[in-house]
């Protein structure tokens, strides 16, 4: 079994972005909006800001109070849409309950939607003609590529069908000619389906969910889950100690998919700059 080192792969991606920005003398900016006091969101936003620094991307943070009105948030997005110094806009989710996430995502110009959450960008991902990568699934693909595994023709099982992870994950695997099965809470005989997988991606959000009996010998196992265990320690979906010995490759949590998601966000922000400079057709 070999561990897939998400930190190392993401560092290489960020270095490449930094080199490109320096070599081409680009000025690239990312606006990050955070509403309210969600502690996990604060950690994510700080990590995104740090990644911007590493890559030479200017970050603009907008920390808004919990009781921000929807019109105020939409006004800010409108201003950022028109600001040439801002190439990418992301609004950290989840938003406080009184704000309509769909409406907020829709307000971000598709050419600045570096999370690729808008219907326009999701549609482009679906047809395989996209500029912005879905960050977490694209990070997973990079990790799979780093193992030298050829995805074409492989049996791939994705557990989870969310719009931000499971569905786009399945699409990216399909675009690389895998045979893909998507599982969810109504899937029957889940363990049996998962055991078919040469590549198993878990995006459920439950600690110790993937057990050894669900994994084929020699499988590549990618753990997208980010959960807290009984000791409040960060962990994934996979029962690592019993699953790892069966795998050819496996991602740890932390240090697997998490750092890749942010690296892909940086890649999208550079792509946004190219699109807005007319160097790439969106
Ligand atoms: P989500 O929207 O809650 O989706 C979870 C999916 O798991 C749903 O499709 C659900 O099925 C499925 N599921 C739940 N219980 C199941 C069961 N017993 N059997 C089979 N499927 C089951 O979550 P998400 O946003 O996709 O995130 C998933 C996990 O990834 C979370 O831990 C999240 O924190 C993590 N995450 C990590 C990163 C990263 O950068 N590392 C990024 C994004 C998310 P139904 O659709 O039938 O309900």
pTM (predicted TM-score): 0.97
Ligand 1 pocket mutation, candidates 90, 160, 256, criterion most atoms within 8 A of CB: 160
Q: Identify the pLDDT of residue 105.
A: 97
204 lines ligand 1 (CB under 6 A): yes
CB atoms within 10 A of CB 153: 10
**Would you say 89 and 31 are in contact if contact means Cβ atoms under 8 Å apart?**
yes
* Full set of structural domains in the chain with CATH: 25-110 (3.40.50.10860), 135-258 (3.40.50.720)
Instruction: Report d(CA 80, CA 108) in Å as an integer.
Output: 9
Q: Taking each helix axis from N to C terminus, what angle separates 39-55 and 6-24, rounded to the nearest 10 degrees?
A: 50
Q: Identify the pLDDT of residue 106.
A: 97
Q: Identify the pLDDT of residue 45.
A: 97
Beta partners for residue 199, in sequence order: 156, 220
- What is the Å distance from ligand 1's center to 140 Cα? 15
Which of helix, strand or coil describes residue 214? helix
- What is the Å distance from ligand 1's center to 253 Cα? 15
Q: Identify the pLDDT of residue 129.
A: 85
Q: Identify the pLDDT of residue 70.
A: 98
Q: Identify the pLDDT of residue 175.
A: 97
Q: Identify the pLDDT of residue 282.
A: 67
- What is the Å distance from ligand 1's center to 54 Cα? 30
Instruction: Report d(CA 85, CA 102) in Å as an integer.
Output: 25
- What is the Å distance from ligand 1's center to 86 Cα? 31
Q: Identify the pLDDT of residue 131.
A: 86
Give, using CA atoms, the residue closest to atom 22 of ligand 1.
185
Ligand 1 pocket mutation, candidates 184, 206, 263, criterion most atoms within 8 A of CB: 184
Parts of the chain with a pLDDT under 50: none
């Amino acid at each position: 079994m070999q561990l897939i080192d998400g930190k190392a792969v993401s560092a290489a991606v960020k270095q490449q972005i930094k080199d490109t920005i320096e070599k081409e003398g680009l000025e690239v900016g990312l606006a990050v909006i955070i509403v309210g006091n969600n502690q996990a969101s604060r950690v994510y936003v700080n990590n995104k800001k740090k990644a911007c620094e590493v890559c030479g991307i200017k970050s603009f943070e907008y920390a808004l109070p919990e009781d921000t009105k929807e019109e105020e948030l939409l006004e800010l997005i409108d201003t950022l849409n028109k600001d040439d110094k801002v190439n990418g806009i992301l609004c950290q989710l989840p938003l406080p309950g009184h704000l309509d996430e769909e409406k907020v995502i829709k307000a971000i110009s598709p050419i600045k939607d570096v999370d690729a959450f808008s219907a326009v960008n999701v549609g482009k991902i679906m047809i395989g003609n996209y500029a912005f990568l879905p960050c977490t699934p694209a990070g997973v693909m990079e990790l799979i590529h780093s193992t030298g595994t050829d995805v074409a023709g492989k049996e791939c099982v994705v557990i989870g069908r969310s719009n931000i992870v499971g569905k786009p994950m399945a699409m990216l695997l399909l675009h690389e000619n895998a045979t893909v099965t998507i599982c969810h809470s109504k899937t029957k005989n889940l363990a049996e389906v998962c055991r078919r997988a040469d590549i198993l991606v878990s995006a459920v959000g439950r600690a110790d969910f993937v057990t050894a009996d669900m994994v084929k010998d020699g499988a590549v196992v990618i753990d997208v889950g980010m959960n807290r265990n009984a000791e409040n320690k960060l962990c994934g979906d996979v029962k690592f100690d019993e699953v790892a010995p069966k795998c050819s490759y496996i991602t740890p949590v932390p240090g697997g998919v998490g750092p890749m998601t942010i690296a892909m966000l940086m890649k999208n922000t550079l792509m946004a700059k190219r699109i807005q400079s007319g160097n790439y057709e969106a």
